[in-house]
Amino acid sequence: MAEPLKIFFDERLVRRIAASIQAAWPDFPARTFIAEASAGLDDKELKARGRHIAAALGRALPADFERAVDILLRSLETPASRGEGAMSSFFYLPHLTFVAERGLDHFEASMRAQHALTQVFTAEFSIRPFLLRDPARTLARLRTWATDPSAHVRRLVSEGTRPRLPWAERLPAFIEDPTPVLELLELLKDDPEAYVRNSVANNLNDIAKDHPDRVVALCHRWMEGAGQGRKWIVQHALRWLVKRGHPGALAFFGASAAPEVVLERASVTPRKVPLGEEALYSCELVSRAGAPQTLVVDAVIHYPGATGKPRPKVFKLRKIELSPSGRERIEGRVKLVDLTTRRHYPGEHRIELRINGVDFSLGQFVAIASKPVQGGNQAASPRRSRT
């Protein structure tokens, strides 16, 4: 089973934070900070651990917020602040939590801190309280950052303004009227970094959930004179709408909202799958149309939750050009290995193919309890072959 992300925030991390700050400010009360930040830490979940450590930082650093920020930023250059591995950047989550919770009355110092910290972790969560508290001034700063030399800072402009950013506080004003966000995305639509363009696409995908027609219209406009990078943004920005069969989004792919197909030789094996193992599914997708069809095919896995209520998850498969009376074989697998982002439970799992937004039942299997197993990749990793 994958280790929960919260485990990263333990006493060893607290000690590293103390060492990094003490190297920048010798008067830092490291012993008191370690005791307070470590007390009760193991009983808390991920975000609560970040807040707990940040609160201890607030008591240990000078009461003068600007002086405290100067110390934190100097600590970024100390040896103890440099970690290794994929999780190393999470070291700075308590630093940014401190800024978000203590810095709302200190705009310039907070912006300076977030500009620096987003280049070693991400300020996409800590910028949001400022967008809620002082939207005009924060949006003005983000417009300036949209042309920053750092791709990390430019990505913050998009990622931090996503109306429905996962794991983050929503931005109700932008859910209601995304105009200020769209103005920022206009500045980033041709960004040279794929890292930034991916965030732009995700932001538009968020906005499409509340303003589908507006996003489709914007994508049509962006396609005029678009290079490959902008075309990629449009394709990925429309993925939520495509999965739900929005006619305007499907039209970008030359696909119809009424696919003329049937599923033949549908199979799900085995019928009972121990948790930690996998089920295989397959079928043949057969055209019933008299003309070629463009089909956008996804897999929908209905996982049972802890209470037994289904939790559907959509996995992108591929785009198919199907000739009249043609057929295409679809194969895939559903892995029941726990991840940091998904836990699996016993019960019935239904599998559907979503074709141009229309769901076709493929079959089901039942997950049964078993001993925990190690390892795991993506929960549904489709594969395919032509026939």
Which DSSP string do the residues of 112-143 spell out, in sequence order?
HHHHHHTTTS--TTTTHHHHHH-HHHHHHHHH
Per-residue tokens: 200? 């732009």
Residue 88 pLDDT > 90? no
Secondary structure class of 287 (helix, strand, coil): strand
For residue 241, the model assigns a pLDDT of 93
* Angle (CA) 152 200 211, round 5°: 145
| Dihedral, CA of residue 246, residue 249, residue 250 and residue 253, to nearest 10 | -170
CA distance 355 to 343: 27
Helices marked H in the chain: 11-24, 30-38, 46-60, 65-75, 93-102, 107-117, 128-133, 135-145, 151-159, 172-176, 179-188, 194-208, 212-222, 228-237, 239-243, 247-251
Fold for 5-251, please state it. Answer: 1.25.40
pLDDT in tens, 316-337: 888 899 999 899 999 999 999 9
pLDDT at 213: 96
Range of weakest confidence among 4-13, 33-42, 99-108: 4-13
Cβ atoms 288, 262 nearer than 8 A: yes
pLDDT band (50, 70, 90) for residue 83: low
Q: Using CA atoms, how far apart are residues 366 and 314, in angstroms rounded to an integer?
A: 19
Average pLDDT, the chain: 90
Q: Please give the CATH superfamily to which domain 261-385 belongs.
A: Immunoglobulins (2.60.40.10)
Q: Tell me which amino acid residue 188 is.
A: L
Mean pLDDT is lowest, of 34-38, 102-106, 147-151, 256-260, for: 256-260
Q: Which residues of 249-277 are buried (b: 16+ CB within 10 A; e: fewer)?
A: bbebeebbeebebebeebebeeeebebbb
Alpha helical stretches, state H, 245-372: 247-251
Maximum Cα–Cα distance for the chain, whole Å? 79
On whether the CB atoms of residues 331 and 281 are closer than 8 A, the answer is yes
Share above pLDDT 90 across residues of the chain, in percent, rounded to a whole number: 74
Distances (CA, A) of 130 to 94, 134, 137, 219: 17, 5, 9, 29
Structure confidence by residue, pLDDT tens digits, 218-256: 999 999 999 999 999 999 999 899 888 888 998 888 887
**Model pLDDT, residue 115:** 98
Domain locations in the chain?
5-251, 261-385
pLDDT at 373 over 50: no
The answer to whether residue 54 scores a pLDDT higher than 50 is yes
Q: Compute and round to an integer the Cα radius of gyration of the chain.
A: 24
Of the pLDDT bands very low, low, confident and very high (cuts 50, 70, 90), residue 84 is: low
What is the pLDDT, as a whole number, of residue 155?
98
User: Stretch 105-127: mean pLDDT, rounded?
Assistant: 96
Residue 77 has pLDDT above 90, yes or no: no
In the beta sheet, which residues pair with residue 127?
A: none
- The Cβ of residue 291 has, within 10 Å, a number of other Cβ atoms equal to 8
At 161, is the pLDDT very low, low, confident or very high (cuts 50, 70, 90)?
very high
Strand 272-274 relative to strand 358-368, pairing: parallel
Do strands 293-304 and 261-269 pair parallel, antiparallel, or not at all (unpaired)? unpaired
pLDDT above 70 (res 2): no
Position 371 scores a pLDDT of: 59
Cβ atoms of 381 and 335 within 8 Å: the answer is yes
